[in-house]
Structure 1
């Protein structure tokens, strides 16, 4: 009951119609069969705490979404209003977006009301990805966890409401996200190079993170590598600027190492030099991570990307696979729980097969974003 009350109060403090509270409340009550857990506890409190926001889109958690939290062992901790306020602010989009505004097969990265710097080190405010495909609309949040739209265009005077079947998960820092996504080689390499703080706290980063298989394929290059060389190599995988997949075009960017990196888009598939983006748009506190199928070579900047892996020129032509396991993974604990997460191939018109994102922290409670992030920082 405390969590249910806190949910309503948290929502009340965040969303309101410009011309008066009854309009929003009436809109919510019209969906009582789906939103009763959200609106049925303290309607008076909801009314009294409405602020004067307008031109917003509310992604309203359904009874199913809230039940996941109510039934979790951490429901008591999640009753803290401050945590709920942060999490719920991520469910409010800046601007009114009706279902018809979401372009088919092209992901949109929409600013939310989440501006707290503990969870948003991007210009403006933290984003959520919205993707329409085959008549269905899905919101993707941290770790590409999907929240499906089950009812759309419940309009009120301050905007519109879409009901979703899972709560959004607030993005967290790069270090946690790489580990939770089972990119353990990248985690170990970043630690060995001493780049955790840089990657976790620098604003507006785009990171191309090689998969474990990519690190293993060139394992020999890491034999006796110096910390300085490793750091420079990893910095070549990062640039300042928000490169969400649908905004990327053929261009050259300056990386943190100072080197030039070629970005190419072929039929909706994104390449960094010759490395293909295999999992796009993993949102983090300070930007976005794309998983790639090769370790980039700062000294091989020529770009001739190919859609077929068999015809792609490797970045490290003389490298060989590691013989002692995946590099940098010794002592890096793999996440214990697998959570399915869909992914898109950049701006492709079709989805890649679903990726199993592993995380030891994402469970029913972690679906509630801010609370789980705080507990896992």
Structure 2
């Protein structure tokens, strides 16, 4: 499914969250003077970033409502593990932020014993989280439940050690930085004035040469290329295809028209390995917020 459709679906799911949380008056419903989910998180003192995010997304009032809700709540440490630039961008994108936050909320109240018996649960995002239990630990997607069954008046909280992501939240540039193997590519993209383009809406399909791929070029030739922004842009845009093409889509064709305007050949070599021109595609389908990255072992040059 197209990422934009997924994000729109998650955003349109918000009215359901609000409906489930609606009260007949403006005050949160309390039972026996217990605290609701938001108040419980505030009282715990370990969910400042989550509470800020809920407020930015306009979801605080929903989680103060009747519910019941089951919330998988990432701690401040969980949010701190997200790249600061990526987190800042997420907090500035209310649509994507809503999609992420509603992915942490399951309608209904499920204690740890209930969760342990499930393999998946539908979230207010509209997508299912995967659940597993090994006899000791409950896992939600890749996150560990580190504290379970925190009771609130309108539901239950399970504390988790990672932020759950229904879709990528880092753009192509941020994804490349996080990988740690594209330093030369990132420097080249910046030198050519293309960084902001690849941080834009896209979507883009990027065939990304590793640092080792750039190291295979003669140093004098590489330095000359990096010093010529026009020629450099011509080479780099030959590595970018408009649209989002997964590995299967790439292999379904024999050539791709790049942003450069020239076509790059797609083939399988004698051993069945996928190639773009003479470069081996060594990893496919690295997702990003604004496209997809396929890793290649050589820099490719337009004719």
TM-score, scaled to structure 2: 0.51
* Cα distance in 1, alignment partners of residues 80 and 224 from structure 2: 50
Give per-residue Cα distances to partners, 1:287-313, cap 9 Å, x unaligned: 1122211111222xxxxxxxxxxxxxx
Matched, 1:286 2:301: no
* Cα distance in 1, alignment partners of residues 260 and 63 from structure 2: 53
Answer whether contact 2:208 2:294 (CA < 8 A) is retained.
Answer: yes
Aligned partner of 1:66 among 62, 75, 85: 75
Answer whether contact 1:90 1:168 (CA < 8 A) is retained.
Answer: yes
Cα 1:206/1:91, change in 2 over 3 Å: farther
Matched, 1:148 2:150: no
Matched, 1:263 2:266: yes
Partner residue, 1:190: 189
* Cα distance in 1, alignment partners of residues 201 and 297 from structure 2: 25
Partner residue, 1:166: 162
CA RMSD of aligned residues (A): 5.2
Q: How does 1:227-242 map to 2 (within 5 A)?
A: 227-242=229-244
Cα 1:246/1:17, change in 2 over 3 Å: farther
- Give the CA deviation at 1:236: 0.5
Which of the pair is proportionally richer in helix?
A: 2
Give per-residue Cα distances to partners, 1:194-252, cap 9 Å, x unaligned: 22233222521100110000000113432423322221111110010101235433312
- Give the CA deviation at 1:149: 6.7
SS at match of 1:224: helix
* Cα distance in 2, alignment partners of residues 233 and 131 from structure 1: 41
Q: How does 1:245-324 map to 2 (within 5 A)?
A: 245-251=247-253, 252-264=255-267, 270-299=274-303
Partner residue, 2:173: 175
Answer whether contact 1:250 1:264 (CA < 8 A) is retained.
Answer: no
TM-score, scaled to structure 1: 0.43
Cα 1:16/1:208, change in 2 over 3 Å: same
SS at match of 1:248: helix
* Cα distance in 2, alignment partners of residues 84 and 199 from structure 1: 17
Cα 1:67/1:272, change in 2 over 3 Å: same
Partner residue, 1:90: 100
* Cα distance in 2, alignment partners of residues 259 and 212 from structure 1: 24
Answer whether contact 1:275 1:292 (CA < 8 A) is retained.
Answer: yes
* Cα distance in 2, alignment partners of residues 217 and 131 from structure 1: 43
Higher mean C-alpha deviation, range 207-216 or range 241-250: 241-250
Answer whether contact 2:144 2:161 (CA < 8 A) is retained.
Answer: yes
Answer whether contact 1:207 1:289 (CA < 8 A) is retained.
Answer: yes
Answer whether contact 1:236 1:255 (CA < 8 A) is retained.
Answer: yes
- Give the CA deviation at 1:262: 2.5
Answer whether contact 2:143 2:164 (CA < 8 A) is retained.
Answer: no
Aligned length: 214
* Cα distance in 2, alignment partners of residues 180 and 192 from structure 1: 19
Partner residue, 1:222: 222
* Cα distance in 2, alignment partners of residues 245 and 38 from structure 1: 42
Q: Unaligned stretches of 5+ in structure 1?
A: 1-10, 23-35, 52-57, 101-111, 114-127, 137-145, 152-162, 300-377
Partner residue, 1:345: none
